[in-house]
Amino acid sequence: MKRLLKLISIALCIALMTAMAACSGGAGGSSADGSTSGFVPGEPETDTVRLALTPTGNAFNAIAMEQGYLEEEGIKVEYVHIENDAEVLDALTNGRVDVASNQGTNLPLERISEGQDLTIFGGYMLTGCMPVFTKVDTPWTGIKDLVGKTMACEPNLYCITGPLLDMGIDPLKEVKWLPCETQEERIQAVKDGRADYGLVGTYLNYAINTDPELKVCTYASDILPKYSCCRVEAASDWVKENPNTVKALLKAWIRSMSYYDAHHDEAVALMAATLQQDEAFVRAYMDNPHFDLNIGPMKASVVRAWDYMGRLGLLDENAREIDINEHINVEIYKAALDECQAEHGSENPKFYERMQGQFARYNMD
């Protein structure tokens, strides 16, 4: 009975907040009029979510476990340890995991273009601290320095190739790309002279910054602000069958982001323990201002990425027949954000105001 009363109270709060947003001209949801029509609050459809865990970890889920947010939302998360991003995306289809949060944006978009039916419904890192690096004696004045040089990474990293394209530079013809089996190999390729520059993921900041032979030239987020590093996705059928489970997960993570906002050092220590890494390894990226976390789907950034990858010829030819908007669900996130603000907004009012503002700017059509 208490649970039912709570759900009724939440539904009334959402209705009131939507009405207030409409009166003030603010955004309320995924449709053009700012509504969240079509989403019906209810109990989570399943009590367990299997989340792929990779070396960077997920600070929000670690906090949600530690603070009991998941339990309060009626679910639990089981980690499935997977090292390879491609394997994680495969695992979404074969049922080994339910949700992926750290596999970037380019790889999920590539898979969608190839016909894998995925839905992006949230985010983790809006921008990671992905360093562009080189040897300490190699000059760097900007990304035009890549022209005529060899870059140790793949050209599907649109955070680099997209801005080059906007400058009138064809990055597929004017830059040589050196694909590597692992990101660690990108580092070695620069050190042994096979590549002039390289780009690696967030978790390798410590390796780059502690190597006396290397220096950071810039970060991907300086080249393309809010480029959308890691979005959260699942098989579309799983999202359709478990909308309230998705909402419960997002609520726990939104509350964790609020906690992270106010308790950074505690979050760093918790992440180090979760990953079984030294705190210095974790601080190398979590203390970096380029490490910008954001739970929202950030639809505008994802659509921009899809456009860049299409213009660069990095998507399957079937992409022409795909409306990427159909693979981005902002409605469940908005419902989760509204509920969190109604229930917990007094704990961190500025945080929730900021998140509602970001939703209006980056998730509306």
The pLDDT confidence band at residue 39, using thresholds 50, 70 and 90, is low
**Tokens 């340890």 sit at which residue?**
81
Give 340-356 pLDDT, tens digit per residue.
Answer: 999 999 999 999 999 99
User: Over 80: is that where the pLDDT of 28 sits?
Assistant: no
Beta-carbon contacts of 123 under 8 Å, excluding residues fewer than 6 positions away, are 228, 230, 231, 232, 294, 295, 296, 297, 298
Percentage of the residues of the chain whose pLDDT score is greater than 90: 76
The pLDDT confidence band at residue 276, using thresholds 50, 70 and 90, is confident
DSSP at 69: H
> Looking at per-residue confidence, does 295 or 17 come out higher?
295
What pLDDT is recorded for position 38? Answer: 53
Which of 2-11, 92-101, 265-274 is predicted least confidently?
A: 2-11
pTM of the model: 0.82
Average pLDDT of the residues of the chain:
88
Give 216-252 pLDDT, tens digit per residue.
Answer: 999 999 999 999 999 999 999 999 999 999 999 999 9
User: Over 90: is that where the pLDDT of 365 sits?
Assistant: no
What pLDDT is recorded for position 33? Answer: 32
What pLDDT is recorded for position 344? Answer: 97
User: Over 50: is that where the pLDDT of 275 sits?
Assistant: yes
User: Mind listing the domains of the chain with CATH numbers?
Assistant: 2-127+229-362 (3.40.190.10), 133-223 (3.40.190.10)
Beta-carbon contacts of 347 under 8 Å, excluding residues fewer than 6 positions away, are 258
Arithmetic mean of pLDDT, 303-329: 95
DSSP at 182: S
User: Over 60: is that where the pLDDT of 1 sits?
Assistant: no
Give 102-156 pLDDT, tens digit per residue.
Answer: 999 999 999 999 999 999 999 999 998 999 999 999 999 999 999 999 999 999 8
Q: What values do phi and psi take at 95, rounded to 5?
A: 85, 10
The pLDDT confidence band at residue 52, using thresholds 50, 70 and 90, is very high
Q: What values do phi and psi take at 185, rounded to 5?
A: -70, -30
